[in-house]
Amino acid sequence: MTRWGMVIDLKKCVNCYACVIACKQEHFLPPGKFWNRVLVSETGEYPLVTKVVYPVLCNQCKEAICVNACPSTATTRRNDGIITIDPDKCSGCQYCVIVCPYQQRTYQDNKKEYFPGQGLTELEKIGHELYPHQTGTVTKCNFCQERIDEGIKRGLKPGIDREATPACVITCMVKARHFGDLADPDSNVSRLIQKRRAHQLHPEFGTEPSVYYVE
């Protein structure tokens, strides 16, 4: 069985936030809402300091706490490992937002404009039609499941063919993001994980993230 996963190469990432913006563009996310972010910190003491940059997104956890916590069954785990939310089933209780230790879920509580007080731009207007977000529900990164599903239907391979690959992955100018099947030991991601001894973010939470990092 397929299990989609991502590997982010921290040696390559240049802290550019393109992934954050590409995701917003792909999914017409309203202002202030993010399905992924880039975190910046540093370790060490001057002059032996290292700047630390971590792009983070929903880990599509194998043992997803959010699925367990969701009372309405709106959040489910697909057979391919993607944790998905059915917007028509979500009651908006936000318990999933609370329980996700990675804080990767956001509540859609507004239809704000990107240019406050100046109305919706044409881009936002068509976005409301093409990719509506229901207010009063929770959303999060869905590994671009629409791209994957549509791509597979067209015979494309996610992680290899760009049209079937998540938007944040293809926009990365340094190719720091890799996407593929974790269940396949020969996939690009599995090999990277093997070769470069990848780590997950906070494995101690026991959620078995499908997003890995290599340094």
Partner 1 sequence: MVKMKGEKTKNKKIEIYDDVWIPTQCHRCQAECGILAHRVNGVVVKLEGNPDSAIGSRGGLCPKGLAGVQLLYDPNRLNAPLKRTNPEKGIGVDPKWQEITWDEALEEIAGRLKKVMEEDPSKIMLQIGISSSTMIVPLFLAKLMMALSTKKGSPLPIISGGSHCGNAGHFINAVNYAAFVTQPDWKYCNYVLQWGTNFGEGGFMQYANRLAAEARERGMKLVVFDPVCNIAASKADEWVPLLPGTDAAVALGLLNVIVNELGIYDAEYLKKKTNASYLVGEDGHYLRDKTTHKPLVWDVKDSKAKVFNDPSISDFDLDETHKVNGLKCRPAWQLLKEHFKKYTPEKVAEISGVSANAIRRIAKEFAEAAMVGATITIDGKQLPYRPVAIQHIRAAVTHGNGTQNTFALDLLVHVLGAANVPGGMQSVSVECHGYPGSGLPHLEVVPDADGFVSVGGKWLFPENRLWPVVPPEYPHHDLIELFTSALEVPLWGGADREELLRKARISSQIDVILNFCTNGVFNSANPRDKAAFLKTVPFIVDIDIFPNEFNEGFADIVLPDASYLEYTDWSGIQHMYHNQPPVLDEPWCFHITQKVVEPQYQRRHAAQVIDDLLYRMGMYEKVIGYYNGFLCLPEELQLPHGKKIVWEDLCDRVARQHFGDEHGWEWFKKHGFISWPKKVEEQYWRPFKDIRSQVYWEFMIDHGRNVKAISQELGIEMDWQQYSPLPDWFPCAPHKVTDPDYDLYAFCYREPTHVGSVTMEQPWIDEASAMNPYTYNIALSTETARKKGLKPGDFIEVESSRGNKVHGRLEVRKGQHPQTLTIMGTAGHWAKGQPIARGKGVNFNSLMEMRYSECDPISFSLEVLVKVKLKKVK
Partner 2 sequence: MKPYNWMVQCTPQTNWIERRGIIIWLSIFSGILGGGAYFTSLIFNNLGGMFTSWLIVVVIKCGLHLAHAEKPLRLWRMILRPQTSWISRGLILTISLIVLGAVQLALTTWAPGTPVEIAFKMLAGIAAFGVMVYGGFALNYVSGIPFWNTSIMPVLFILWGILLGLAMLLVVDRGSANIQVAVAGTSVLTIGILVITTLHLWTETYKGSTARESVKKLIRGYIAPMFFIGTFVIGLVLPLIIILICYFNSSLPSLSLTVVMLVSEVLGGLAFTYCVMKVGLYNPLLAVRE
Residues of the shown chain interacting with partner 2 in the complex, contacts defined by CB under 8 A: 37, 39-43, 52, 54, 56, 65, 67-74, 89-95, 97-103, 107, 109, 135-137, 201-202, 205-206
Candidates 28, 37, 92, 199: give the one binding ligand SF4 (CB under 6 A).
Answer: 92
The alpha-helical segments, DSSP class H, found in the chain are 18-27, 65-69, 95-99, 122-130, 145-153, 167-171, 188-195
Alpha-carbon distance of 78 to 193, in angstroms, equals 23
Identity (one letter) of the amino acid at 147? R
Binding mask 52-91 for partner 1 (x = CB under 8 A): xx--------------------------------xxx---
Interaction of residue 138 with ligand SF4, rule CB under 6 A: yes
- What is the C-alpha separation between 88 and 75, in angstroms, rounded? 11
Least distance between partner 2 and beta carbon 210 (Å): 16
* Binding piece for partner 1, criterion CB under 8 A, among 63-71, 92-100, 128-136, 179-187: 128-136
Q: Name the nearest CA neighbour of 207 among 40, 72, 39, 81.
A: 81
The residue to which tokens 């879920």 are assigned: 105
Query: What 8-state DSSP symbol labels residue 90?
Result: -
- Residue of the chain from 68, 134, 202, 206 that contacts partner 1 (CB under 8 A): 134
Interface with partner 1: number of residues (CB under 8 A): 60
